[in-house]
Amino acid sequence: MSPPGLLIAAPRSSSGKTTVTLALMRALTRRGLRVRGAKCGPDYIDPAFHQAATGQPSFNLDSFAMEPRLLDALAGETASGADIVVAEGSMGLFDGIRAAENRTGANADIAARYGWPVVLVVDVSGAAQSAAAVALGCKLYDPRVRLAGVILNKVASARHRRLVEAGMERAGLPVLGALMRDAALVLPERHLGLVQAGETADLEARLDRLADLAEAGIDLDAVIACAGGAVPDSAGLLPRPPGQRIAVARDAAFSFLYPHLEAGWRLAGAEIVPFSPLADEAPPRDCDICWLPGGYPELHAGRLAAAKRFLGGLRAFADTRPVHGECGGYMVLGRTLEDADGMTHAMAGLLPVATSYRKRKLHLGYRVARLCGDGPLGRRGSRVVGHEFHYASELSPAAVEADALAQVMDAEGVDQGLAGHRVGRVGGSFFHLIAADEP
């Protein structure tokens, strides 16, 4: 039997979804339940917090980027061995791209596909009874989705809570609990979202504090009773590995690799061999491919430029074996990286790319690409789907088609031109791979 699930969502971003999700995950885990998390949409930071809270891996579920078989396979892996699934939404409950129904990338698609009831986190700061009108709109907007109840966040006082609850009662919406306004609950952030789980000071103590607040302010029995739905049996395959022994850069500068990719690689029998560029480690010579994920190289550019063993080993590796970089990894494969202070640092020089973080410009959105040549992502002409989220820019010219990684469109089919570069066995671009298929 598939375990029941819940989707923790909100009417908009910055409502406190992650805070409430982590509080529930840790509180339910402390009750002895086997809790598995999931993250709707293309977010590579929150799943690590889910894993810290539950002790179990958390995968992304993305109705736009993932074909139904992959989506169901990941949902099945998530449900396997769990007592309850707690999925976290992204942005607002219905926020997505214009696409066919069930393929918009919105949280609501995931709730509808698996029948997971929605627990709506409502930031009630600056509102009282009017918060119920917003929540009621979420309940009525999409008949595919069942709103099981609301959790109030950033409540100012006992009187404020009574006023908000009066509005919710009038709208027929069960209040499952409330968290008071408390700046100490806010997790630290930087330019790409939360500071990563592995870098968050006192993370275990923070998670236990959140669980304490959930136990005091949320009716956990009612939350458990709300859970429902089921994940269908699926024969879908997870992503295939690009090699048998994969050297993966992993430290504070390189950490943005979607968990479902690593899980798929391992299930197919591949071995992932981590190494740390910041510790001046070269990719292990007994690996057959090197993968440089995204992360924060712009915050560590000086150390990376001084990491001679890493840079020399990477160049030697690329002489005989494939190397792929995405986003931050792509920047490090280039010739130079300009940091926020305007200092230019020499990078690996394997791609004719110069990047800058000095003048920040947001690049954000899905990328649907056709590969321009054979490489670690697939054969020439293969379709791959990824996501781009960064503030750095390329100062160097775009590649011509013969030397580009891919021809790219956005989620609505608008041509974005050529992306990335390929030189010999080395390639990369600013988008993070989510899923790939053959032409």
Catalytically annotated residues: 327
**What are the residues facing 118 on neighbouring strands?**
7, 147
DSSP β-ladder status, 336-338 and 344-346: antiparallel
Q: Which residues contact 345 (CB under 8 A, 6 or more apart)?
A: 301, 302, 304, 305, 336, 337, 338, 339
Q: Which two tokens stand for residue 152?
A: 């109030």
- What does each C-alpha distance from 234 to 71, 73, 145, 176 come to in angstroms? 9, 6, 22, 33
Residue 410 tokens, joined:
């956005």
Whether 429 contacts 322, CB under 8 Å: no
Q: Where are the alpha helices (DSSP H) in 259-345?
A: 259-267, 301-305, 308-318, 328-333
First to last CA, the chain: 36
Cross-strand bridge partners of residue 6: 86
Report the alpha-carbon distance of residue 255 to residue 243 in Å, rounded.
Answer: 19
Nearest to 3 by CA among 229, 223, 233: 229
Which residues face 123 on adjacent strands?
153
**Of 60, 300, 65, which is closest to residue 190 (Cα–Cα)?**
300
Tokens matching residue 374: 């054979």
CB neighbours (10 Å) of residue 164?
A: 25
Q: Which of 189, 224, 178 shows the shortest CA–CA distance to 3?
A: 224
Q: Which backbone phi and psi does 379 adopt, to 5 degrees?
A: -80, 160
**Cα 172 from Cα 51, distance rounded (Å):** 34
Cross-strand bridge partners of residue 415: 409
Q: Does the CA dihedral 155-160-162-164 come out positive or negative?
A: negative
